[in-house]
Structure 1
Amino acid sequence: MRNRTVGINVRVTVTEKKKVTMLAKKCGLSLSAYLRQRALEYEPGGHPPKEVFNVLDKLDEIAEGCTPATCAEIGTCADRLRDLLIGGN
């Protein structure tokens, strides 16, 4: 159940709203979630474009058709890329 029951109204210009909406979308967040995180001093990271995930999926497909040693090497590289791109450790 949602605990958020209190609203905060903020007036902005049309340009400001467009910019904040774009930043929220870039992070894969709703406008409310983005503003909440920023207000609470959390800096949300950007969300990679869909094409990045398509390339990583293609690397996995290539690895499946290779020798076991090559497959493991490609898999390790793909995992490293995933970690760098989507915030893994």
Structure 2
Amino acid sequence: MRKRSVGINIRVTVTEKKKVTMLARKCGLSLSEYLRQRALEYEPGGHPPTEVFDVLDRLDEIAESCSPTTSAEIGTCADRMRDLLIGGN
């Protein structure tokens, strides 16, 4: 279960929305996921299987229940895996 509960609203033109929607579809991503990846400096090239995101979400949950040091280590590893799997920097 995702813990995303905060929204970010932006205004775009009809043409901009069509273009961004097309780019998201081309990558096999929802509009929200495409915008999220772009905002986090990922270069979407395709959509990894849903299970990849489920595993990364689970790692974040595990990290939250650990000691601060262990949590930071797990968080760093999970972030690195995101970079490798999703195509980040």
**TM superposition score normalised by structure 1:** 0.53
Structure 1 runs not aligned, ≥5 long: 4-24, 30-43
How many positions carry a matched residue from both structures?
A: 55
Aligned to 2:58: 58
Structure 2 runs not aligned, ≥5 long: 1-13, 17-24, 30-43
Identity across the alignment (%): 78
Equivalent-residue separation in structure 2 for 1:55 and 1:81 (angstroms):
10
Answer 1 or 2: higher relative contact order, Cα 8 Å, separation at least 6.
2
Q: Does 1:74 align with 2:74?
A: yes
Q: 4+ runs of 1 displaced by more than 4 Å?
A: none
Q: Report the CA distance between 1:27 and its aligned residue.
A: 3.2
Please tell me whether the aligned partners of residues 63 and 70 of structure 1 are also in contact (alpha carbons under 8 angstroms): yes
Larger Rg: 1
Equivalent-residue separation in structure 1 for 2:73 and 2:26 (angstroms):
31
Calculate the aligned-residue CA RMSD, in Å: 2.5
